[in-house]
Amino acid sequence: MDHNASVSIRNLYKIFGANPVAALKRVRAGMSKADLMNEHRHVLGLSDINVEMKAGEITVIMGLSGSGKSTLIRHVNRLIEPTAGEILVNGENILDFGEARLRDLRRRQMSMVFQHFALLPHKTVLDNTGMARAVRGEDRAAYEQDARKWLDRVGLGGQESQYPHQLSGGMQQRVGISRALTSNAPIMLMDEAFSALDPLIRTDMQDLLLELQKELHKTIVFISHDLDEALKLADHLVILKDGIVVQQGEPQEILLNPNDPYIVDFISDINRARVLRVRSVMDTSPAEAPSTAGKVDADDTLESVIALSGGDTALSYEVHRDGAHVGFLNMKKLVRALVPMQAAENGM
């Protein structure tokens, strides 16, 4: 098993309708999603998607309802067949896989965490957690220790004999995560995994995922419609609209340099001080090293530095990462970064 699996989506199209191949020719010739529906009664689900999901990183696919994000994640394990394109896992096009190899891919290489938990109500927490490996044909003795370990790690130690209906929504989702981890699959697919949870529980689950990811370095594909969640979790962010990738890249870069009016509108209400990190606005090679008021970490939020400075824009800080000097942060530059691009261009 490859514990550093990567996924590549190349030139992927999905068209829903009676004759998708004919519709594909029209889309490639430039027909819009609206015209395809109005004139030919076909739905353009995805159009020319190209995304690299790097090993050991969290790729967040986000967009509003109808953007194609859930359609895209279901292509990764071929729950949906594409109209055209390639889906590469560790360099192999899984569209070439027969039923046996595809079944093995789903059982051993990929795990999935669902929005509504997908637990079996008649099975205990422990049985649900070990389900993926039981389906593979492993004896209970082979996976029970791992199942108990992951239940303990997600805060459910002692709940093994409970049934799903005896757990809160947040606890049920923790079972879903422990099940994915017990499967030992290198790729985790998470389709709106936290959307059904209350805000505080949702935040706890996001923190738990990031904590586990620091240790495990899974390849995670996470679907979300919530920009705050996406910015918090993503190493690589892909924003969809009407089945098309509008922009993708490192979240901080997208926030500072949106390349489309849709993205500008999308990020307009974000608390930039809470989301932006020092590393995104620091100066790595100033003409002259400034006098500094102290040290900050490259991954500190701008909000935390504002609190540290007391709002004094005359200050500068030395920036460190893992104990090593990496740059300087000027408070005036920090304040400029808090102004959205559109407002800055309008002279604010």
pLDDT higher than 70, residue 1: no
pLDDT higher than 70, residue 295: yes
pLDDT higher than 80, residue 116: no
Model pLDDT, residue 288: 85
Give me the number of domains the chain comprises. Answer: 2
pLDDT in tens, 3-51: 456 999 999 999 999 999 999 999 999 999 999 999 999 999 999 999 9
For residue 51, what are the β-bridge partners?
9
Distance of alpha carbon 198 from the chain centroid: 19
Query: Is 41 part of any domain?
Result: no
For residues 348 and 342, give the distance between their C-alpha atoms in angstroms, rounded to a whole number. 9
Rounded average pLDDT over 314-339: 94
For residues 283 and 303, give the distance between their C-alpha atoms in angstroms, rounded to a whole number. 18
What sign results for the dihedral spanned by CA atoms 36, 40, 43, 48?
Answer: negative
Of the pLDDT bands very low, low, confident and very high (cuts 50, 70, 90), residue 247 is very high
Rounded average pLDDT over 255-261: 91
Q: Are residues 276 and 337 in the same domain?
A: yes
Instruction: State what percent of residues in the chain have pLDDT above 90.
Output: 75
The one-character DSSP state at 289 is: P
Burial class (CB in 10 A: 0-12, 13-18, 19+), 199: exposed
The one-character DSSP state at 290 is: P
For residues 215 and 226, give the distance between their C-alpha atoms in angstroms, rounded to a whole number. 25
pLDDT higher than 70, residue 347: no
Mean pLDDT of the chain: 91
Structure-token pair, residue 161? 């004999």
CATH number, domain containing residue 317: 3.90.1280.20
CATH number, domain containing residue 113: 3.40.50.300
